[in-house]
Structure 1
Amino acid sequence: MTIAQICLLVACLLPIGCAGLAKSRGFGKRRRDGGFDNHRPREWLAALEGWQARANAAQANSWEALPVFIAGLVVAHQHQAAQATVDALALGFVAARLVFIALYVADKASLRSLVWMAGLAACVALFFVR
C-alpha cells in the first residue's frame, strides 16, 4: 500500500471522525435528556450549536472535498506520475484537512479558508503531476 493510498483511507475516515466529534456530547445520555437521537439524527444534528455545529459542518465539508481528492489520485495514477510526488501531495492534502477541521471547530474562519485553499491546491496539483 502506498502512502497516497493510506492518505485516501484517512481522508475517507475524516468525515466519520467529524461526525463522532459533533455527536460526542450526546453519547451516554438518554434521548429525552438531549442525548443523540438515532431515530432523527439529521434533526438532532441540525439543532447543535457552537463547536459541535462546526464539527458537523466540517463533516459535510470533508465529504465535499473527498471526490476532488479521489479524482486527483486517479488522474495521477493514470499519468503514471512519480509516486513520491503523489505521496507528498496526498500527505499535504490530509495535513491540510486535519488542520482545516481543527480550525473549523475552533472557529478560526479566515485561517480555515486559507488552509482549505491549500488542500484544494494539493488536489489540483495531482491532476498535473507527471
Structure 2
Amino acid sequence: MTLAYWCIFIAMLLPWITAFYARKIGGFIADDNHRPRAFLARAYDKAARADAAQQNGYEIFAPFAAAVIIAQATGKAAQFTINYWSVLFILSRLGYLYCYIKDKPFARSCIWGVGVVCIISLYIASI
C-alpha cells in the first residue's frame, strides 16, 4: 500500500478522532449516547469548534480520497508527487484542526486553502 493510500486512511480517521475529542471536552456521558447529535448541538467553545471541524473533515474527505485514487489509477503522476500532495494534505488537516479548536479563524481558512490546493494538485497531476 502506498503512502498516499495510508493518507486516505488517516484522513478517514481524523473526523472520528475529532468527534471523540469534542465529546470528551464537552463532558459527554453515557446517557448522552441516546442522542449524541443533540449533545453536540448544545456544545460550546472548543467542543463546538471540534464538532464543526469534524463535520468539515467529512466534507473534504471524499474529494481528497477521489483525487488520490484517480492520480494512482491513471498512472500519469509520479508516486513521489502523489505522496507529496497527500502528506501535505494530512499536515494541512492537522493544522486546520488545531486552528479550528483554538479559534484562529484566519489561519484556519488559509490552511483549509492549502488542503484544497493539495486536492487540485492531485487532479492536475493525473492529467
1:77-112 Cα deviation digits (max 9, x unpaired): 122121010000000000000000000000000110
**Please, what is the CA RMSD of the aligned residues?**
1.2
User: 4+ residue stretches of structure 1 with deviation over 2 A?
Assistant: none
Q: Cα offset for 1:30? A: 5.8
May I ask how many residue pairs the two structures share in their alignment? 124
Q: Does 1:6 align with 2:6?
A: yes
Q: TM-score, normalised by structure 1?
A: 0.91
1:31-79 Cα deviation digits (max 9, x unpaired): 4xxxxx0101111000000000000000000000001101111221122
- In the TM superposition, what are the counterparts of 1:95-110 in structure 2 within 5 Å? 95-110=91-106
Q: TM-score, normalised by structure 2?
A: 0.93
Name the CA distance, whole Å, in 2 between partners of 1:59 and 1:83. 29
Partner residue in 1 for 2:53: 58
Unpaired segments ≥5 residues, structure 1: 32-36
Tell me the SS of whatever aligns to 2:110: helix
Unpaired segments ≥5 residues, structure 2: none
Match of 1:79 among 66, 74, 81: 74
Name the CA distance, whole Å, in 2 between partners of 1:30 and 1:78. 44
| Aligned-partner residue type, residue 93 of structure 1 | F
Q: Does 1:90 align with 2:80?
A: no
Partner residue in 2 for 1:34: none
Q: Cα offset for 1:2? A: 1.0
